[in-house]
């Protein structure tokens, strides 16, 4: 019932993903949400984010920010880390994900998405056929509309974890 919202991978942080391994397996583009995925909501790009994007650039991996936020917010962050961006991405609409892949010159087969929300980030990536990584939110302080979405997310994550446990138990 909740499968469309399940991430392919659930990780503690965007900074815990082994991107070099993904590159070695053929991934050439990473689409990121910004707020509470890379930095706390509304925070500027920090040194950790700048270093992460620098690593992508060193190996020739493409990146793009896909955010539902306003241009001023997303453009400033993108400039600081040196990446392409899409603002007011209207996630979970597939259009933003497709546009991000067009900007990067990638396809669903060689692109992954990293974000912190099931009903926008992950559902949209799944609908676009992109491997999705759900991260834990960086900071619990969020806007009220996001706080309200976190309540049903807990139910979906409970079912997701139960399914994963059952998959490990089967022979």
pLDDT tens digits, one per residue of 122-142? 999 999 999 999 999 998 776
**pLDDT band, residue 82 (cuts 50/70/90):** very high
pLDDT tens digits, one per residue of 25-65? 999 999 999 999 999 999 999 999 999 999 999 999 999 99
Q: Residue 145: how many CA atoms within 13 Å on its side-chain side?
A: 4
Q: CA angle, 142 as apex, 159 and 129 as ends, to 5°?
A: 50
pTM: 0.91
The domains of the chain are located at 3-169
The number of beta carbons lying within 10 Å of the beta carbon of residue 82 is 13
Find all residues with CB under 8 Å of 47, minimum gap 6, and list them.
none
- Homologous superfamily (CATH) of 3-169 is HAD superfamily/HAD-like (3.40.50.1000)
120 and 142 Cβ atoms separated by less than 8 Å: no
Calpha distance 67→115 (Å, rounded) = 10
Cα-Cα-Cα-Cα dihedral sign, residues 4, 151, 69, 112: negative
Find all residues with CB under 8 Å of 7, minimum gap 6, and list them.
118, 122, 126, 132, 133, 134, 160
Helical packing angle, 47-59 and 71-81, nearest 10°:
60
Calpha distance 139→37 (Å, rounded) = 9
**pLDDT band, residue 152 (cuts 50/70/90):** confident
């Amino acid at each position: 019932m909740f499968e469309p919202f399940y991430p392919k991978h659930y990780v503690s942080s965007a900074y815990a993903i082994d991107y070099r391994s993904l590159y070695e397996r053929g991934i050439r583009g990473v689409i990121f949400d910004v707020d509470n995925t890379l930095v706390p909501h509304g925070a500027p790009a920090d040194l950790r984010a700048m270093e992460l994007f620098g690593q992508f650039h060193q190996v020739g991996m493409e990146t793009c920010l896909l955010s539902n936020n306003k241009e001023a917010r997303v453009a400033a962050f993108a400039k600081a880390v040196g990446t392409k961006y899409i603002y007011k991405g209207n996630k979970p609409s597939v259009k933003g994900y497709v546009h991000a892949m067009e900007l990067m010159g990638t396809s669903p087969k060689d692109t992954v998405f990293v974000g912190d929300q099931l009903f926008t980030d992950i559902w949209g990536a799944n609908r676009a056929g992109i491997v999705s990584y759900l991260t834990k939110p960086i900071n619990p302080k969020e806007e009220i509309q996001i706080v309200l979405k976190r309540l049903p997310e807990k139910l979906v994550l409970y079912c997701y974890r139960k399914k994963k446990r059952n998959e490990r138990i089967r022979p």
